[in-house]
Amino acid sequence: MSGLPDGIERREFDGHERLSTRGEPVYGEPTDGEWRCWDAGRSKLGAMLETGMDVDLSGGESVLYLGAASGTTVSHVADFAGPTYAIEFAPRPVRDLIGVAEDRSNLFPLLKDARKPETYAHIVEADLDLLVQDVATRGQAAVAVNNAQFLADEGQLCLAVKARSEDVTADPETVFEEVREEVAAAYEIVDSRRLEPFHDDHLGIVARKR
């Protein structure tokens, strides 16, 4: 990654330089004035940035975020991005997500299932710059491939793969290789690496839509 985009800075929290974005706090994270610490231990995308993956961001991107949960990571994304569509299928986290969106006019929570993009295709705009996926379900590669329709040509995918969600008994490296092969049907993989020490048995993938 060649530098950080507008809206993300490294600032000192608790004696350590850490990623931060400017916005209203969401999950009790440390703050420094208007800046809020982006905890990579609670964010797969934050871990991808902290481990130096080849994520290409400039700020202001249009985003589809799959697996938004209560808004921990997508709130940071909305702090530096443009229009951000946040997909979450569980009603309870969506209630929290709506609260996060009250402070972010560019964040649009949607109670939808990321495995069924046809249910939100009439809402989410086309030709988006960035697809971020953190969906803990079997078939994570298929979700990424099926949602490629929303990306512009050469739009970027940042995918966090949880091995145990695919097969709790399989060797994670075997799972990761299978996911990479399936993702390559729709994307050119730019970078992939494990997300330790922040997240055990997780793989980060950065790719471009073919």
Is residue 87 within 8 Å of 71, Cβ to Cβ? Answer: no
Q: Residue 136 annotated as binding? A: yes
Q: Is the pTM of this model over 0.75?
A: yes
Is 191 annotated as ligand-binding? Answer: no
- 62 found inside a domain: yes
174 is in an annotated binding site: no
The answer to whether the annotation marks 119 as part of a ligand binding site is: no
Where does the pLDDT of residue 124 fall: very low under 50, low under 70, confident under 90, or very high at 90 and above?
very high
> Is residue 11 a part of any domain in this protein?
no
Is 113 annotated as a binding-site member? yes
Alpha helices in 36-190 (DSSP H): 44-50, 72-80, 91-101, 140-146, 163-166, 172-183
pLDDT (0 to 100) of residue 1: 43
Q: Tell whether 150 is in a known binding site.
A: no
Res. 3: pLDDT tops 80: no
Alpha-helical (H) ranges within the chain are: 44-50, 72-80, 91-101, 140-146, 163-166, 172-183
Tens digits of residue pLDDT in 23-82 = 999 999 999 999 999 999 999 999 999 999 999 999 999 999 999 999 999 999 999 999
Average pLDDT of span 104-115: 98
Give yes or no for residue 188 having a pLDDT over 60.
yes
Q: Is residue 88 part of a domain?
A: yes
What pLDDT, in 10s, does the model give residues 160-179? Answer: 999 999 999 999 999 999 99
Chain centroid to CA 158: how far?
Answer: 6
pLDDT tens column, 65-97: 999 999 999 999 999 999 999 999 999 999 999
CB 152 within 8 A of CB 130: no
137: annotated binding-site residue? Answer: yes
Contact 103, 24 (CB under 8 A): yes
User: Does a structural domain hold residue 31?
Assistant: no
Domain that holds residue 53: 42-209
Q: Token digits for 31?
A: 């703050």
Q: What CATH number has the domain bearing residue 72?
A: 3.40.50.150
Is residue 114 a known part of a binding site? yes
Cross-strand bridge partners of residue 111: 88
25 lies in a domain?
no
The answer to whether position 23 is within a domain reads: no
